[in-house]
Amino acid sequence: MIVLNKAYLTGKESEYIREALEKQTSGNGVFTKKCHRFFLDKYGFKKTLLTPSCTAALEMAAILLDIRPGDEVIVPSFTFVSTANAFVLRGATVVFADSLSVHPNIDPDALEKHITPRTKAIVVVHYGGVAVDMDKIMDFANRHNLFVVEDAAQAIDAFYKDRPLGSIGHFGCFSFHDTKNIVCGEGGLLVINDARFFPRAEIVWEKGTNRSAFIRGEVDKYGWVDIGSSFLLSEVTAAFLYAQLEEIDSIQNKRREAWHYYWDNLKAFVSEYGVSMPEIPAFATHNAHIFYLICESSEQRDALTKSLKQSGIQAYFHYPPLHLSKFYLQSHRPVSLPNAAKFSEQLVRLPVYAGLTTTDQDFVIAELKKALG
């Protein structure tokens, strides 16, 4: 069986976890600080807070933006549930936007029509770690006075021009879930790029208290000063994460090798069957998070995934578009987002992870040829 994704372990995880068990297991200890320091040194992220998930980081962003009932937030339909749900939890109305025709990412030139006097924020998702055109997004947001949240769940170590993803909008949200490039079981990161939010971010993180300021000795007691929740990552998990971060370059190199092996060996022949390769814009340096193909029809895609499954290869689609979800349609009129629907019907992801062997990849490629032929 060749699985879609497999977490790569560096070997240091259990050692660091044992160290955390001896020192401190609750959050905001030595390993949390080491991780925060790593993100500052490696990517220049000025203010970071580890969270239990990317979902939690998105929820923090929604609280910090003071999203309330009546506010509208523009969100891509082709994404994971949490991108929208975090804002719905605050009472926002989500307004779904379509993908580009050539890429699952949000279409920055088709956003104007979604603007109303109530629009407060836009969320972008860098699908597969491939950057959205952030100059266009920031320009749009500035013209309409909107906040920008980057759902960079899949985008660690990926770039827009020379800027790391997650550092461009007001907030960046990352995931270290088991299915992502860098893992710690369940974990996430909120990156705060606008200094106005720094003090309140720490308070929301610490359950609505000024405990962070107290720990730094800035106040002599701490108490309830705002809303918040339990948004810290345990030190046990932060220790796991730090072992991964230390090896990020080698994990990423392995992953990129696997991605490019598909690229080099598929590009010449898939077009003969009407299948398209991923489009990578010149401004994007991606992180090899996903290798996908776009089939010419849903029938071709479904036949292909079925055939690969019979050969013991996990190849999956992505996502049921949120504008067609049961939850959304319960309370909203249907909208038409043809590109999001198309990717949902025609996209297939191939197994890709650090440590995937070329022998396995050759098998995937051979079975793919058979299935398409």
Q: Which residues bind ligand PLP (CB under 6 A)?
A: 53-55, 79-80, 82-83, 125, 151, 153-154, 175, 177, 188
Closer residue to ligand PLP, CB minimum distance, 95 or 165: 165
Shorter beta-carbon distance to ligand PLP: residue 25 or 85: 85
Distance of closest approach, residue 51 Cβ to ligand PLP, in angstroms: 8
Q: Considering the complex, state which of residue 119 and residue 181 has its C-beta at the smaller distance from ligand PLP.
A: 181
In the complex, minimum distance from the CB of residue 126 to ligand PLP, in angstroms, rounded to a whole number: 8
Buried b / exposed e over 340-353, threshold 16 CB at 10 Å, is bbbbbbbbbbbbbb
Q: How far is the CB of 58 from ligand PLP (least distance, A)?
A: 7
Enter the DSSP assignment of 319: P
Smallest distance from ligand PLP to CB 189, Å: 9
Q: In this structure, is the dihedral angle defined by the CA atoms of residues 138, 61, 283 and 101, taken in order, positive or negative?
A: negative
Pick the closer one to ligand PLP by CB: 54 or 134: 54
Helix (H, G, I), strand (E, B) or coil at 191: strand
Residue number, 28 or 237, with CB nearest to ligand PLP = 237
CB of 79 to ligand PLP, least distance (A): 5
DSSP 180: S
To ligand PLP, the closest distance from the beta carbon of 152 in angstroms equals 8
Tell me if 174 sits within 8 A of 155, measured CB to CB. yes
Q: Is-contact 79 319, C-beta < 8 A?
A: yes
Q: What is the DSSP string of 109-174?
A: GG-GGG--TTEEEEEEE-GGGPPP-HHHHHHHHHHHT-EEEEE-TT-TT-EETTEETTSSSSEEEE
Burial of 75 (0-12, 13-18, 19+ CB in 10 A): buried
Picking from 341, 288, 308, the residue whose alpha carbon sits closest to that of residue 8 is: 288
Which CB, 175 or 361, lies closer to ligand PLP?
A: 175
Give phi and psi for 163, each to the nearest 5: -105, 130
